[in-house]
Amino acid sequence: MQTPIRHLAPLLPHAGSMILLDEIVAYSDSQLQALARIGPDHLFLDENGQLPMWCAIEIMAQGVAALAGCHAHDAGQPPKLGFLLGSRQIDILRPTVAQGSLLCVQVEASTRDEASGFGVFDCRLSLLHEPGDANTDSAETVATARLSVFSPPDIEHYLQEQIA
């Protein structure tokens, strides 16, 4: 797919206002860079018009999901359901960001096992100071994490095993 990608619904197993990313700037086999604009109708704004940075984990996880969705799309497949298992390391470097902010999420695969569906991704969320500038050199890092994820190769079979 050509970047930038601005229509993300076909790439993510999310819907409506739960899609927190606005644009995929670039992706490769193991990396993705995307933007998230914090508009006035953002799902998680607090009463002061601020986005609490506990949301950073979900934004970074959606970056991982978007990378998987890009690969699925390139292979002619729909996006697969995945699970955020947790993190060994999360650093939240500020409590909130203001409405109107532009965030850049960068994810990079550290470990992936396609056969089992397990993966570990190094993630960084940055506040861009120049709107429309996806150059993260001058950006302020607001959160980092190493996310562990699981996307079983056969989700239907996996879910049936969990119910049984």
CB 53 within 8 A of CB 94: yes
In the chain, where the domains are located: 9-163
| Record: fold of 9-163 | Thiol Ester Dehydrase; Chain A (3.10.129)
The stretches of the chain forming alpha helices (DSSP H) are: 56-74, 155-163
For residue 42, what pLDDT is reported?
94
For residue 133, what pLDDT is reported?
57
Token pair of 112, please? 């992936």
**Is the torsion defined by CA of 40, 42, 74, 109 positive or negative?**
positive
For residue 155, what pLDDT is reported?
74
Residue-wise pLDDT tens for the chain (164 aa)? 899 999 999 999 888 899 999 999 999 999 999 999 999 999 999 999 999 999 999 999 999 999 999 999 999 999 989 999 999 899 999 999 999 999 999 999 999 998 889 999 999 999 998 655 556 667 999 999 999 999 988 777 777 777 76
The amino acid at 67: L
For residue 48, what pLDDT is reported?
94
Burial class (CB in 10 A: 0-12, 13-18, 19+), 42: middle
For residue 75, what pLDDT is reported?
94
Q: How many contiguous H segments (helices) and E segments (strands) does the chain have?
A: 2, 8
For residue 21, what pLDDT is reported?
97
Other residues' Cβ atoms within 10 Å of the Cβ of residue 6? 10
